[in-house]
Amino acid sequence: MNRPTTSAADPSAPEAAAEPSADPSADLAGPADVADSAGRAAPSATAPTRVPRPRADAVRNRERILVAAREMLVEQGSTAPFDEIARRAGVGNATLYRHFPDRAALVHHVVLFVMDRVTVQAEDSLAEETDAFAALCRFTHAAADERIGALCPMLAGDFDHEHPELIAAREALAEAVEALVAAGQETGLVRTDVGVGDLMVALSQLSRPLPGVTCMDVDGFVHRHLQLFLDGLRAPARSELPGEAATLADLRQKTM
């Protein structure tokens, strides 16, 4: 089973230099302008409205900040210092605050960043793997590389669990992972007495570093222990599980 490697920004790279806005519409000639009563050229009513697009360097800086913040929040929790996040991302403090004015905004967007990337991993695994169990394994290891286990500590405190962006991301993730598990069960490769909630709980617990232990020290153990867990999901089941299969709805009642 080949596991995709999460790409991360190079924290040692310097902050990107500002680039001019690459708007192809800027080179297009529009209808003739109409002069107003003062002789100033006024844009035609039929001229297309240009939607501003973020500069390429701004997009890169934003992702570098999110990647660095994700790693720092995993290592140090939600109190990770902004100065260190900026340094690791290779940007200045002003750039960080321009994208994320306060800690709540940063944590909110890190959570969305991780959830969106994990959703893509689930969708790609199901679409690209011909074996449903291989798809489940690929997704689980990739989700661990995305540090999904760090979400639980970030969702504590005054985090806005009902923000529309979070609800949409949560529903997309649930749909993608449920389809992945269902495919495994329908093909007889995954035991039927487990639910998506069981998978996500184990993934969160096994991919979260122990207190006081840096991520680099435990990465090898994370994937080793995840594979042991995944082997326990294979059908036919070799034991009877106590209790009932956990669903994502069960998890939301307790965490979200």
- Cα 17 to Cα 53, 64, 90, 125: the distances in Å are 17, 14, 12, 36
Residue range 108-255 forms a domain whose CATH class is mainly alpha
Six-digit token string for 5: 């490697």
- pTM score above 0.85: no
Residues of the chain with CATH 1.10.357.10: 108-255
Closest CA to 139 of 84, 188, 197, 203: 203
Q: Looking at residue 90, what is its pLDDT?
A: 95
Indicate the CATH number of 55-101 among 1.10.10.60, 3.30.360.10, 3.90.1310.10, 1.10.645.10.
Answer: 1.10.10.60
Spatial CB neighbours of 139, under 8 Å, sequence gap ≥ 6: 121, 122, 125, 126, 177, 180
What string of pLDDT tens digits covers the 256 residues of the chain? Answer: 444 444 444 444 444 433 333 343 333 334 444 444 444 445 545 555 565 666 778 889 999 999 999 988 878 877 889 999 999 999 999 999 999 999 889 989 999 999 999 999 999 999 999 999 999 999 999 999 888 876 766 666 677 888 899 999 999 999 999 999 999 999 999 999 999 999 988 888 887 765 555 544 556 678 888 898 899 999 988 888 888 888 777 776 655 4
